[in-house]
Amino acid sequence: MSPSTKQDPSGAAKDAAPPLPEPLRVPVADSHTHLDMQDGTVEEALAKAASVGVTTVVQVGCDIAGSRWAAETAAAHPDVWAAVALHPNEAPRIVHGDPDGWSRQGAREPGGAAGLDAALAEIDALAALDQVRAVGETGLDYFRTGPEGVAAQQLSFRRHIDIAKRHGKALVIHDREAHEDVLRVLDEEGAPDTVVFHCYSGDAEMAKVCADKGYYLSFAGNVTFKNAQPLRDALAVTPAELVLVETDAPFLTPAPYRGRPNAPYLVPVTLRAMAAVKGMPEDDLAAAVGANTARAFGYPLG
């Protein structure tokens, strides 16, 4: 380690992988991860996760290439299920040639409405595959995309809702600073039977609205952050039968490892913090989360 390497308060390098947590006694699933953005192989990630009781992961695509990879990876690994979609920031990139969109490939598909139609047609085809259990992450993101991208995002979101309903798949929602519009579009289009708010970011009042509609709320490592009391308040009022846990890895690493690389094996850190917020025994929350995730994504709980 060079003298200039940043360290966290424990003395570990900021880019060092956090240690393995104590294993869970009741297995759970990571309801939202990006294995293609993490270091190491898929096999290594799954083995490390399984060693601490995270026995299933949902691999989420955010663009065409990522969605293809998610479907291929799920087909090759029985403990992986796939979600496929265009991330909300991907739609304006395709329509307007926005270089700040989600795509990591730097590809330039045909632009305009025709380009978006072509991309959505591929998502539609992938959504028909058995190992693909969700359409997402889709939704609205008004943090990274300005007003000029709103129309493209909303059009893409509506189309993804239709794809999810036609294929009978869960809808996984990315909602960033767009709560009212996300709920409005869901109401206008008619929500699919299963809706999952990935990395839930609303407050307690919105959580109550979502719970009344039967939407699942998935909580990530940011629920452990010091400034995240509104998220903890939302978790506290969410019925246990609608709670999921996720990493969104490699992002949103839970405290005390914030800023270091995230991975599915760190789910136990977040779940234990969630159990404390809910006032539930760890095993009870893990059992609920495991059953909820299997029900939401339609795979056998075993």
Mean pLDDT of the chain: 92
User: Could you give the count of Cα atoms lying within 13 Å of 56 in the half-sphere of its Cβ?
Assistant: 27
Asked if residue 15 has pLDDT above 90, the reply is: no
pTM score above 0.75: yes
Per-residue pLDDT at 108: 47
Percent of the chain beyond pLDDT 90?
86
Per-residue pLDDT at 3: 33
Asked if residue 20 has pLDDT above 70, the reply is: yes
Span 22-29, average pLDDT: 98
In tens, the pLDDT along 98-156 reads 544 544 444 444 567 788 999 999 999 999 999 999 999 999 999 988 888 999 999 99
- At a CB cut-off of 8 Å and minimum separation 6, what does 246 contact? 30, 31, 32, 33, 58, 198, 199, 218, 219, 220, 267
Per DSSP, the three-state class of 234 is: helix
In tens, the pLDDT along 215-238 reads 999 999 999 999 999 999 999 999
CA distances from 201 to 20, 110, 112, 198, 208 (A): 27, 33, 30, 8, 13
**Tokens 């095993």 sit on residue:** 283
Span 271-282, average pLDDT: 98
Per-residue confidence band for 9, with pLDDT thresholds at 50, 70 and 90: low
Span 171-183, average pLDDT: 98
Per-residue pLDDT at 1: 33
- In angstroms, the CA 100 to CA 181 distance is 22
- In angstroms, the CA 218 to CA 32 distance is 8
Task: Among 6-15, 21-30, 78-87, name the one with the lowest average pLDDT.
Answer: 6-15
* Of residues 202 and 11, more confidently modeled: 202
Percent of the chain beyond pLDDT 70?
91
Asked if residue 14 has pLDDT above 80, the reply is: no
